[in-house]
Amino acid sequence: MILPKNNRLTPEQVVEITGVVAEFGCKIQPIVGAVRTIYAIVGDERDDLMINRLEGLDYIDRIDRIQSPFKLMDRRSDLANHRIAIGSVTLGDELLVIAGQCTIDPKNPNYYLETSQAVKEAGANALRGGVWKPRTNPYSFQGDARSLEILMEASRRTGLPVVTEVMEQEHINLALDCGVHVLQIGARNALNYSLLRQIGRAIAGRNTTVMLKRSIHNGPLSEFISAAEYIAAFGNPNVILCPRGTQPQLDGYRNQPDESITPLLKEKTWAPVVVDPSHSVGKAGYVPAAALAAVAYGCDGLCLEAHVSPSHGIGDDPKQAVTPAVLTDLIKRARALHAALRPQPAVATHA
């Protein structure tokens, strides 16, 4: 929809605009109001080149898009009924709980193996475990490819699917070769379009899923969904959106909790939403409340950092990881809340 700066376009401007949109196979149709006339673009208006050309005309106030810029991830796309299963859980049917250590310590594999068994017993459906870590400081522990074997051993022992973050093509190849079920794109790489293309290409034709975290910079939701579209565009639409907090605005929380974007995402896209309260609030004590808030906002799953002995963890675990006892209680309460919020079947009444 074209909104001119003046109340209507001059005949010369109509000629110019008609010429531009015709190059893209479109026409314009005036919608005449009492005071203002606006102009509908008739045809496929999604071409950015056309929009950019029109926006560049100095007599145009703005262009409002009617069609969604995300052809695949849009709620109204042909994929609207696409379902993603992680292990035994089909997202949307029951609450998915992913839990495990932030980081696998290759020198102490038993911690990861014990944590994995404990999170399974707590009721988690999938394991998380960082093999490669995006660290702010180049001298901090960067992860170790040898931890991949520990991750897969935990998966074999527990029978649970695993999630790990990848940051480059080599990680993607190694993780896929080992049979990692869900590849995570972290908040720092959430807008790395080369990596998004690489991962989309790599998972095409496979059953693998990508969990895409939201970038930390608090960008618009369309930016988050467009990042998912980059991945899906290669043919495998198994993409989960993961809000994980944005730039901190409160002294107490590591990031600004953003689980409240869940209903907004659900209005725009069919993609499942799995919220990560651990990175959002950044302190174990706040995680249960943030997790329950996420469920109340309608998320399809939670991704939680947990450790059998947080103080012996590395990476985020000493601060963020909840213990198996807290996790057990949290999962029970989250599942009960999720069930309570589901639409209830109508109860038959007797006359």
For ligand PEP, the closer CB: 171 or 279: 279
Q: Which of 178, 198, 88 is nearest to 131 (CA)?
A: 178
Q: Whole-angstrom Cα distance, residue 75 to residue 78?
A: 8
Residue 220: CB atoms within 10 A of its CB come to: 8
For ligand PEP, the closer CB: 236 or 278: 278
Site string for ligand PEP, 18-37 (x = CB under 6 A): --------------------
Site string for Mn ion, 274-313 (x = CB under 5 A): ----------------------------------------
Q: Whole-angstrom Cα distance, residue 299 to residue 120?
A: 21
Reduced to 3 states (helix: H, G, I; strand: E, B; else coil), residue 127 is strand
> Does residue 130 belong to the site contacting ligand PEP (CB under 6 A)?
yes
Query: Smallest distance from the beta carbon of 135 to ligand PEP, in angstroms?
Result: 9
> Does residue 186 belong to the site contacting ligand PEP (CB under 6 A)?
yes
Reduced to 3 states (helix: H, G, I; strand: E, B; else coil), residue 52 is helix
Q: Whole-angstrom Cα distance, residue 210 to residue 200?
A: 9
Q: Whole-angstrom Cα distance, residue 228 to residue 270?
A: 11
Query: Smallest distance from the beta carbon of 134 to ligand PEP, in angstroms?
Result: 6
> Does residue 127 belong to the site contacting ligand PEP (CB under 6 A)?
no
For ligand PEP, the closer CB: 181 or 213: 213
Only segment of 148-156, 185-193, 196-204, 233-241 that touches ligand PEP (CB under 6 A): 185-193
Only segment of 52-60, 174-182, 183-191, 290-298 that touches ligand PEP (CB under 6 A): 183-191
For Mn ion, the closer CB: 234 or 253: 253
Determine phi and psi for 127, rounding to 5 degrees. -105, 140
Which DSSP state fits 286? Answer: G
> Tokens standing for 332?
């029970």
Q: Whole-angstrom Cα distance, residue 143 to residue 229?
A: 29
Contact 195, 226 (CB under 8 A): no
Picked from ligand PEP, Mn ion, none, the partner binding residue 258 (CB below 5 to 8 A depending on kind) is none
Residue nearest to ligand PEP (CB): 186
Pairing of strands 301-305, 274-275: parallel
For ligand PEP, the closer CB: 213 or 266: 213
Q: How far is CA 282 from the centre of its chain?
A: 18
Out of 120, 171, 213, 266, name the contact with ligand PEP by CB under 6 A.
213
Q: Which of 108, 195, 114 is nearest to 144 (CA)?
A: 108
Kindly state the number of chain residues that form the binding site for Mn ion, as judged by CB under 5 A.
2
Out of 26, 50, 102, 172, name the contact with Mn ion by CB under 5 A.
102
Exposed, middle or buried: residue 46 (CB in 10 Å: 0-12, 13-18, 19+)?
middle
> Does residue 316 belong to the site contacting Mn ion (CB under 5 A)?
yes
Q: Whole-angstrom Cα distance, residue 76 to residue 69?
A: 12
For ligand PEP, the closer CB: 26 or 160: 160
> Does residue 254 belong to the site contacting ligand PEP (CB under 6 A)?
no
Q: Which residues bind Mn ion (CB under 5 A)?
A: 102, 316
Q: Which residues bind ligand PEP (CB under 6 A)?
A: 102, 130, 134, 165, 186-188, 213, 244, 276, 279, 316
